[in-house]
Amino acid sequence: MTEIQSKCFNRATALVKQGNIYGAIVLYRLYLKDPHPQYSLRAWNNLGNLLMDNGRDIAGAERAFKKALEIDPKDAPSWNNLGNLLNDPLNDKKDIAGAEDAYKKALEIDPEAIEVWSNLGNTLLDHTEDYAGAIIAFKKILEIDPEYTEAKDNLYYISENLCLVP
C-alpha cells in the first residue's frame, strides 16, 4: 500500500470514530479508486455500512457490499451486511427473502456467527411466519453462548406471546 493509500484509509477510519461520517464516505470513495488488495474488502464493507446507516444511500450501499462479495464470495460479514441492507426498514426495495438467503450464506461460511444467527432469527420472527426457523436460530445462539440475553428474550417472547413452546 502506498503512503497516500494508507493515509487515506486510516484517515477515513479515524473520521468515523470522530463522527464525521460524510468525510469518511468521501475518503473511502477516494481510496477505492485505487485500493490496495489487502484492504479493499474491508473498505467496501465500511463504505457500505456508512452509506446504509448514515448516508441513507441504499443503492450505493448495495453496490459496495456486492463489490466486497466480488472480491471474496466467502466473506461472511459481507453476506451479513447485505442481509441487513435487504432487511433495512428504510429500504424501499426491502427484500426479506433475499435477506434470509444472505444470512444463510453467511452461516454456511461461519456457522458460529452469533450476530448472523440473531439477524436471521429476528428476520424470521418479525417478517415471516417461520417461527420454527426463528426458534432454531435463537436456540443455536444459546448453544454458542448460553448467556446471550437477546436470544433468551426472543424465545420467551415466542413462548408467551405466540403460544409456541421453543
Per-residue pLDDT of 27-63, as tens digits, reads: 999 889 888 777 899 999 999 999 998 868 999 999 9
**CATH for 69:** 1.25.40.10
User: 147 falls in which pLDDT band (50, 70, 90)?
Assistant: very high
Task: Tell whether 158 is covered by a domain.
Answer: yes
Q: What integer pLDDT is reported at residue 35 of this predicted model?
A: 82
Instruction: Of 78, 145, 134, give the one whose Cα is nearest residue 112.
Output: 145
Q: What integer pLDDT is reported at residue 131 of this predicted model?
A: 92
What pLDDT digit, counting tens, does each position of 7-26 carry?
888 999 999 999 999 999 99
Task: Tell whether 88 is covered by a domain.
Answer: no
CA distance 135 to 52: 28
Q: What integer pLDDT is reported at residue 1 of this predicted model?
A: 62
Q: Using the 3D structure, point to which of 78, 102, 126 is the last residue of a domain.
A: 78
CA 142 to chain centre: 20
CA distance 153 to 141: 12
User: 126 falls in which pLDDT band (50, 70, 90)?
Assistant: very high
Under 8 Å CB-to-CB from 135, ≥6 apart: which residues? 155, 158, 164, 166
CA distance 90 to 52: 9
Q: What integer pLDDT is reported at residue 6 of this predicted model?
A: 81
Same domain, 17 and 69: yes
Q: Using the 3D structure, point to which of 78, 105, 138 is the last residue of a domain.
A: 78
Task: Tell whether 43 is covered by a domain.
Answer: yes
CA distance 83 to 77: 10
Task: Tell whether 26 is covered by a domain.
Answer: yes
Residue 166 has pLDDT above 70, yes or no: no
Q: How many domains does the chain have?
A: 2
Same domain, 54 and 119: no
Q: What integer pLDDT is reported at residue 25 of this predicted model?
A: 94
Task: Tell whether 38 is covered by a domain.
Answer: yes
Q: What integer pLDDT is reported at residue 164 of this predicted model?
A: 72
Q: What integer pLDDT is reported at residue 2 of this predicted model?
A: 75
Task: Tell whether 8 is covered by a domain.
Answer: yes
User: 165 falls in which pLDDT band (50, 70, 90)?
Assistant: low
CA distance 16 to 27: 11
Range of the domain at 21: 1-78
Same domain, 143 and 73: no
Same domain, 131 and 60: no
Q: Using the 3D structure, point to which of 78, 104, 127 is the last residue of a domain.
A: 78
Which three cell numbers mark 86? Answer: 435487504
Sign of the four-CA dihedral 148, 150, 151, 152: positive
